[in-house]
Structure 1
């Protein structure tokens, strides 16, 4: 044995290098594990080993796949919302267009129906007017009372008028040898105490207006409008009238359908 073996050494133990490190790495439970030893310490620090462990998350394949699926899902949801919005907008526009078209169709149908109804009404009125005129002619010529049924004042009136047949027509004349149309009627009604206006326009409104299908002996017939008639005569029954027609024929008796009057007034 060496004589120095029992003599303790006065040299200090050798310290680890301040810059030396030992790094251990490993994967545990999906985390990266770093073990650092021998970290740098100041020279005057207490001498003790340093061991520190840090764990960092590791991006695994499953995590990446999950993140990708989440992104795809979000994109699909956004696409679905956008598509639904476009569909809703298109449906709204189509609905409004359909409503507008329907309203226009209904309006057009109503206008057509109104037009047809108006045409039908006018056609009906025209048919009724033709039927009425035809009925009036038939009634006046077939069922009118005869002159023999006239009594009293009407008989006197008819008698005077028949006595004037064949006399001349002279414009402005009131008898006794010639007459114009209104002069004859005025003279005839004077025989029964009725004073008529002088001209045909006034005589056409002198009494009560009556229908041509309801004539009585002694009714004054007029041609033209009431109040502006251009000719007058007197109904004598049997579908006939007497009047001063014109300078060619003079005073004559004619059937009503020879020259159908416009209207009639009753003064008796």
Structure 2
């Protein structure tokens, strides 16, 4: 290569002054044209602004809304309460109806049971009277007179003399209670147990006896069953530990509150032979 050969330069060539001036003139002309066009064009309209006045929520309106909501809630609660009360009332009515039906059923059952017990007691009473009449009729020396109650010749004789004084009053009191009910612990005036009847009979003549049969069986002088007098106290069991008492009324008869089936009855001594007797009068 020749030492004088041209080496290309990497630098950009400088533009000539004429080109630069031309470019500047063109740019200035364009800008001038834009400026003139902007000045000559119509004026830009200002935006229209309209103010809308919104209603103001006052404190009174807020209170009204709150009250309305509260009233609505209260109505809902009232309706719920009423529904609960109606349901409870309906349930209570059903239970009451069921309880009434059950009570009626029990009352009818009790009535039937009482009627059956009464019928059974009456049948036992008739059977007992029939047996007594048969025994007395078959006994030697029995009397045919109505209401008589003669004892067999082998039995001890009983005093049939009319009672007088306090004894008569005790006998009258006892006989007046025949037909009353027997109730354990009963002391009258319409229901008795055995010792309650005896105590009340003697109280009618101002004599106070112990309340129970055990004590009443030793309240007086022990007497033989063959030497009884109206007003004597009969007892069953041993003296001091008797389990039943009654009042001898004469003619071989006694009055006593026997049991819940028979109540207070008048019976022959042969119906249920006592163990012993005491005399208080």
TM-score by structure 2 length?
0.45
- Bigger proportion of residues as helix: 2
The structure that is strand-richer by fraction is 1
